[in-house]
Amino acid sequence: MFHTWLLKIGVYLFRRPRFRKWAVLEDKRYNVIKAVEETNGGFPNLVHDYASTALYLPFNYEKVFWKDMLLSFIKIHSITSPKTSIPIVSRSSNTKQEKNYWDYSGRLWFFYSNIIAAAYGWTVNQIAKLPVEDALAYIQEILTDAFLEKEFTHKLSELAYEYNKNTKKSKYRPLQRPYWMLPDFGKPLKARKHAPVPKTLLPVGNVISLQDEIKETKPK
C-alpha cells in the first residue's frame, strides 16, 4: 500500500518536463507500446521503468496495484504530450518505416538534439532545457527548410523531368512532400489518430498511437 500511495503522490506532483526528459520518456513509452504489440513478458518492467524515470521514485512496482500502475502511465503521458497542434506531431504518416540497423534504445534524445544542434549550434544543455513544443517546432522548421532546399535542387535537375515520346514534351515530376507539409483535409474525429512522435522522426521504427491503448486500459 505504501508504494501505491508513493506512486500516486509522485503522479500528482508531476509537472511537464523539458525537452530532454520528454525525449527520454517518449523512448521508454515506445518500448512499452512495442511490448504490448509483441505480447512481451517484460511489459510490467517497462511500465515501471517509464514511471520511475518520470517521477524519480524508487518504488517497487511489484508492491503497487497494477491498475494504479497503468493509470499512472496514462496520466504521465497525458501531461507530457505536446499541447499545441504542430503538424509534425499532430498528424501521422501512413508510410511504413523500417527499423535501422544502427538503432538502439535511448537514441531518441540524441537523434533530436543532433538535428537542432547541427542547425543552430546550440549546446546540449540549451537544447535539453527547451519547452517541448518549442523544440518540436524548431525541428519541423529545420526539416522543412532542408526539404525545400532539396526540392529546389530537384527542379534544376534533368532527372526531375520525364520525356513523353507521344507528346514530345517533358513533364515535371515533383518530389513527394512529407506529410506535415501536405494539406490537412481532416478525418472523422473517431477515426483520427494522434502520434506524439511521428513515424518518420522516430529512429526506432513505427509509432503506435497511445489512444488505442488508453481505451483498453482506462477504467469504465
Question: Taking all residues of the chain, what is their mean pLDDT, rounded to a whole number?
Answer: 81
Q: What is the residue type of 101?
A: Y
Q: Give pTM, 2 decimals.
A: 0.74
Contacts of 216 (CB under 8 A, 6+ apart): none
For the chain, the structural domain boundaries read 2-217
Residue 174: DSSP 8-state? P
pLDDT digits (tens, 9 = 90+) for 115-152: 999 999 999 999 999 999 999 999 999 999 999 999 99
- Mean pLDDT over residues 215-219, rounded? 44
Q: What pLDDT shows up at residue 111?
A: 93
pLDDT digits (tens, 9 = 90+) for 42-97: 888 899 899 989 998 766 767 788 888 899 999 999 999 998 888 888 887 777 66
Distance in angstroms (rounded) separating the CA atoms of residues 9 and 56:
12
pLDDT over 70 at 196, yes or no = no
Q: What pLDDT shows up at residue 211?
A: 44
Longest dimension (CA), the chain: 79
Distance in angstroms (rounded) separating the CA atoms of residues 39 and 94:
23
Asked if 112 contacts 130 with a C-beta cutoff of 8 angstroms, the reply is no
